[in-house]
Amino acid sequence: QVQLVESGGGSVQAGGSLRLSCAASGRPSRGYIVGWFRQAPGKEREFVGAVNWSTNTYYADSVKGRFTVSRDNVKNTVYLQMNSLKPEDTAVYYCAAGLRPTYYLTSEYAYWGQGTQVTVSS
């Protein structure tokens, strides 16, 4: 029903910025909550941030004040603006969508993108 494609990843030095995009196709609904997750090698996938249908946002403590999630319903795209990047932010970043999920749980999302690599060097 919904396909998600992430883009915008790359390599950046510590303190730099990146903006990730998550483009939705199929039949995206404004009722979906869109979340960002990340997974580093050998680690569990963890919640980063999310935006719901009312544009309320939620963030993991590790990224509060540095990352911003937003959505553009005209473009069917969600964004993750990442500032003041740290080496520990290095991971594959995924966007996901679900209808009224518990926003911070991976198991609550029905649709997932393939991920985009973010590498932050010291």
pLDDT averaged over every residue in the chain: 94
Q: 5: part of which helix (H) or strand (E)? A: strand 2-7
Q: What is the pLDDT of residue 47?
A: 97
Predicted confidence band at 107 (pLDDT cuts at 50, 70, 90)?
very high
pLDDT for 34 beyond 80: yes
pLDDT at 36: 98
CB 31 within 8 A of CB 53: yes
pLDDT at residue 32, rounded to an integer: 87
pLDDT at 94: 98
- Cβ distance 82 to 9 under 8 Å? no
Q: Which of 40, 8, 34 is nearest to 21 (CA)?
A: 8
